[in-house]
Structure 1
Amino acid sequence: MGMMGLWRPMRVLLGLLLRRPILGTSIIPRLPNGEILLVRRRDNGLWSLPGGIVDWGEDITTAARRELAEETGLTVIQMGRLVGIYSAPERDPRFHSVCVALEAQVEGTPRIGDPAEILEVMGFSRDELLHLTLSHDHTQQLRDYLAGNTVLA
């Protein structure tokens, strides 16, 4: 079998390995005063839930705790409920990702953890949240959370 004969199965294998959705998590962080903390993204200027990609060797809650601390300086006191699993291919404009959204009770002083990624961090009341348009599909995630729903979308 020549090089051309080997390239075809290699290309199929690479496609199978590399063209897979990326697993991520978003956190709905409830502050002690009842507000929900959001971060304003540098890449598109929109508010969003903190979160990110699950690293190799991490479970979902470890990734959620790490991402929250990296982006906002906050600590998870207690993980709350599963809000949903969001997997629509167009939910993230950068790539196909599957996002596990979790509620968390948090504490600490909010701060910008990564200025290259985050422009601002701020707590919002329930009423304020209902009037925001968030990045990615985070508006839907927040609506599902505020409605008390657990979704597979």
Structure 2
Amino acid sequence: MRRYWRFITTVLGIVFRHPITGVTIIPVLSDGRIVLVKRQDTGQWGLPGGMVDWGEDIPNSVYRELEEETGLNLVKMKRLVGVYSAPDRDPRIHSISILIEAEAKGQLEVRDKLEISEVKAFLPEDLPLGNLSHDHDRQLKDYLNGVTMIA
């Protein structure tokens, strides 16, 4: 019995005491505008993205999250901008986010109404920097400055 308890606590520790992996996407339209989403929970603008599902790889997570949150289709993943892992980058959980620039096309449409209230495309100079959700201000600044970051 003790052996089983140790196994169960080890599995729970692995599941609940390790960071969760996710993707964050910088969707860029053909005219150069960058797409942001407004979160339902905080009312803040941010980049689309989410957790990698069990059995899913990063490219499929990017494709799925982009479509779910913005209604856009992935044309091509362009650049790995960075990996962000600060324990406080997401106020809900410790997560590691892989930031990817993506060429996107289609009609802007909120599909995940539980998480997202609005989707909008911004010219780079019009991005609402300064109060974005999570660490998306830093992520967008790194992208706009052309750096690749591991943080």
TM-superposed CA distance for 1:83, in Å, is 0.5
User: For residue 124 of structure 1, what is the aligned residue in structure 2?
Assistant: 122
Give the Cα–Cα distance (whole angstroms) in 1 for the partners of residues 99 and 148 of structure 2. Answer: 9
Within a 5 Å distance, the mapping from 1:90-109 to structure 2 comes to 90-109=88-107
Give the Cα–Cα distance (whole angstroms) in 1 for the partners of residues 101 and 8 of structure 2. Answer: 42
Give the Cα–Cα distance (whole angstroms) in 1 for the partners of residues 107 and 38 of structure 2. Answer: 16
Give the Cα–Cα distance (whole angstroms) in 2 for the partners of residues 13 and 49 of structure 1. Answer: 32
TM-score (norm 2): 0.92
User: For residue 68 of structure 2, what is the aligned residue in structure 1?
Assistant: 70
Give the Cα–Cα distance (whole angstroms) in 1 for the partners of residues 143 and 39 of structure 2. Answer: 21
Q: 1:43-64 CA deviation, whole Å, 9 max, x = no partner?
A: 1100010000001111111101
Aligned CA-pair RMSD:
1.7
Question: Does the C-alpha gap of structure 1 residues 19 and 131 become closer, same or farther in structure 2, counting only changes over 3 Å?
Answer: closer
Amino acid at match of 2:115: E
Q: Which runs of 5+ in 2 are unaligned?
A: none
Q: 1:59 is matched with which residue: 57, 60, 64?
A: 57
User: For residue 43 of structure 1, what is the aligned residue in structure 2?
Assistant: 41
Question: Does the C-alpha gap of structure 1 residues 72 and 130 become closer, same or farther in structure 2, counting only changes over 3 Å?
Answer: closer
TM-superposed CA distance for 1:144, in Å, is 0.3
Select the structure of larger CA radius of gyration. 1
User: For residue 84 of structure 1, what is the aligned residue in structure 2?
Assistant: 82
Q: Which runs of 5+ in 1 are unaligned?
A: none
Give the Cα–Cα distance (whole angstroms) in 2 for the partners of residues 9 and 58 of structure 1. Answer: 26
Give the Cα–Cα distance (whole angstroms) in 2 for the partners of residues 13 and 75 of structure 1. Answer: 37
User: For residue 26 of structure 2, what is the aligned residue in structure 1?
Assistant: 28
Question: Does the C-alpha gap of structure 1 residues 131 and 90 become closer, same or farther in structure 2, counting only changes over 3 Å?
Answer: closer
TM-score (norm 1): 0.91
Give the Cα–Cα distance (whole angstroms) in 1 for the partners of residues 15 and 109 of structure 2. Answer: 37
